[in-house]
Amino acid sequence: MSKRSITCFCEHVFETEIPDAVDLVAQPSVLDEVIRGDFMTVSCPLCGKRLSPEFPCRFSGVSGDRDVFFIPELDRVTYLRGKLSYDPGKPWRIAIGFAELAEKLRLFSKGLDDRVIETMKYYLLSRSSEAEGMASAEDGEGDVTVIFAGEEHGKMLFHISGLRKGEIAVAKLGRDLYSKIEADIEKRASEDPFKEFCKGPYVSVRRIA
């Protein structure tokens, strides 16, 4: 745990302890906290508002003895430019922002390969940009993102945001597509454009999107 200074929307500044490392084997309940969006949430002692600050944190015990290093969304650009003010070390995977962290931990808990998931996202993004009747630049939000949201009735669910303001589209892909991509992911991950986002530690189609 580390002491962190937090400024509330009411402008009150207070200090609180925030975890900087989590062992998911010793603390399995944290996985549910992350997925629910409760991880790192704190309440302002003055106005009581619930806040969700983001601070770097290492998660160990992922998929056995692997680790995921969490980078706050505000540090996305500096990380991609190689100019972080802190050293994440050499983690197995990196997740940027709470949405990606929840996604990574959710799919790893199900034994899924994130390279396959990111490849499926790539095809969804490609199809979305080419589909007739998609939102124009002024209608959309300018940054289309896809998040793996789980499985339902044998289908893999993906939430697509940014196509239209205030709307989230839901795509349902068959598990057979996942299996087909998984069968040749090693070969695919060495070819363009997949090698640009399948190489760790930051495995994400957002590297090229």
Q: Are residues 188 and 147 in the same domain?
A: yes
- Position 111 scores a pLDDT of 93
pLDDT band at residue 195 under the 50/70/90 scheme: very high
Distance (Å, whole) CA 125 – CA 127 = 5
Flag whether pLDDT at 132 surpasses 50. no
Residue 18, both tokens: 């925030």
Question: What share of residues in the chain are helix, strand, coil (percent, to 5)?
Answer: 30, 25, 40
Residues 83 and 171 occupy one common structural domain: no
Residues 45 and 124 in one domain: no
Residue finishing a domain among 68, 85, 109: 109
- Same domain, residue pair 67 and 102: yes
Residues 97, 126 within the same domain = no
- DSSP of 27-95: -THHHHHHHHT-TT-EE-TTT--EE-----EEEEEETTTEEEEEE-GGGHHHHHTT--SS---S-SEEE
Parallel/antiparallel/unpaired status of strands 93-96 and 21-23? unpaired
Evaluate if residue 133 carries a pLDDT over 70: no
User: What is the tens place of the pLDDT at every residue in 5-30?
Assistant: 999 999 999 999 999 999 999 999 99
Assess whether the previous peptide bond of 193 is cis (omega < 30° from 0). Answer: yes
pTM for the structure as a whole: 0.88
Give the domain range for residue 49: 2-109
19-73: pLDDT as tens digits: 999 999 999 999 999 999 999 999 999 999 999 999 999 999 998 889 999 999 9
> What backbone torsions phi and psi does residue 54 show, to the nearest 5 degrees?
-120, 125
Distance CA(207)–CA(198), nearest Å, equals 10
The mean-pLDDT minimum among 9-13, 37-41, 152-156, 163-167 falls in 163-167
Is 48 in the same domain as 133? no
Residue-wise pLDDT tens digits, 86-107: 999 999 999 999 999 999 999 9
User: How far lies 186's CA from each of 90, 94, 115, 194, 198, in Å?
Assistant: 21, 20, 9, 10, 10
pLDDT, mean of residues 181-197: 94
Measured between alpha carbons, how far is 71 from 60 in angstroms, rounded to an integer?
A: 15
- The answer to whether residues 42 and 29 belong to one domain is yes
Query: Residue 36 and residue 171: Cα distance in Å, rounded?
Result: 21
pLDDT tier, 135 (very low <50, low <70, confident <90, very high otherwise)? very low
141: confidence class by pLDDT, cuts 50, 70, 90: low
Q: Fill in the DSSP letter of residue 191.
A: S
Least trusted range by pLDDT, from 29-33, 69-73, 132-136, 138-142: 132-136
Q: Which secondary-structure segment (H or E) carries 9?
A: none
Last residue of a domain, one of 109, 139, 155: 109
| Strands 21-23 and 57-62, sheet pairing | parallel
Residues 69-79 have a mean pLDDT of: 97
Band the pLDDT of 144: cuts 50, 70, 90.
Answer: confident
